[in-house]
Structure 1
């Protein structure tokens, strides 16, 4: 296939580019490359999508597949205007954040969506779901039955820069000091390996799979995930299971960011990491065992440094403070 990737330098889009080249496709990446360059073997068109519709002038030709991972509706709509009519299959990598309800486990693709971000409203991290919803709407309007809306869930695996999935195996591998975990053993976790997601995007494009599909992993209880993470890391220390209310009183945040406990979600998010993937699996999505993803994630974490500053999780000093407080409270 002649594939155009709008991106190709970051986590998922770079993995899509690598796999596409390896499979023998003719791959072009349109990207700024301000931080990193696309993988070897692609044709790199240097362009800044924030500069407007002219960014696509060098790639205004016929494509078998275009893959866009945009978050901002403005450049996404400009790309659709410039290229959708010349493309046989259009993939928009959306997000399960487009769904209006995060509280219902097992919800499928027919669940209600957030209202699209209104035109003229700046796209921000706070309206991420609405931004993705707006791009979905624009994609369907421009590409119609040629469009695959790939609604990804939490993406993990080698190269993940968010630290959300890799924090726990890396923490258990770092040292055998007391570890503090939220008391949510029965809560759901759900991750899709970046390598599986990239393979799915390419396979769906080649076979002409269209429509909205949840590209998410399988349901795994948090407690089971932690036990495997400890075993893979060889952890032999003490684990303190801390009540959720107590953690909040100590200033610990949910989910992501500095001073957080990754994979711990606030009330009302019982379905956020428990979406149905039945439709995507029936359409060909293949998911490796989650234990393989966890082991590969730890291997990647070791390469990058277990003591490195992190975008999510507790610092060793904060974890020590919490563990000492829990001992005193016994």
Structure 2
């Protein structure tokens, strides 16, 4: 019995050793201009042991890119060896290059490439510039309302329902970004679920979300210390926020008791944020209509938001053309639709301010 146990242990250890990550690549992300070439490498580790197996390399979309080698005999490789492969861009788009082995004696999970092929380098640069411009516009857009409140020493004209929905939305957006960027367990969950996916949260996403929370909190403090008339949070807004709160509390309990993953909880937070984005402007627009005035509501905020939203959609269109990736807009219209929805509301606010109520200076409480 002891001999059998020892033999089994040796076999398990041998199999584990044989399946270690002894193969890797020099990069996973490859960006190429149409018709250009790029050389990438598969690298063997110092502990690599040649084996009678074959590494097979597959291109997901062979019309977008090709690779110079599709099969590599692992018995011909040595430790610390670089195997060069040439990726050729055939048409604009995105494709994955993956791999496997015949008998699974080597772990090849790290042998993959994410290839993006763009048509024009200048459009790629313009897209990056536009990205920073709309990031700046959206970030600055919070300040005009704070300034107007301070100058008037009044928040009459600023709808409290909009403000409440806004702070909840940005807090949830911050929770999503901070959790997915900083918490190791959640990052591991994301990697396990999307092994070849990039973390969607970047540093500028975190800055924008936290910055938005801080400035919205400043505005809320202004609502406490400045003249607010008879304005208060409506029953409808309280009910909506109560439903959102109940849903998220239940989701947090389910995550705490391992019924769902914490990553799923973060996604639920993002879904609530998206829902809030769809409805948060309605109370302010209705308040302006009832008062027949936009006094107290910062039009500069709207102009900056309109600029950011328009540039965001423009970037999506440029990227769709440059990467021939129209599916990102028409196949999954959520992001583009939300941006368009916000811009349409901005247009409505602009009409209220400059056309419908341009002569109004209504300040009644």
TM score, norm. by length of structure 1: 0.24
Task: Determine which structure has the larger helix proportion and give its number.
Answer: 2
The structure with the largest strand share of the pair is: 1
Provide the TM-score with structure 2 as the length reference.
Answer: 0.22
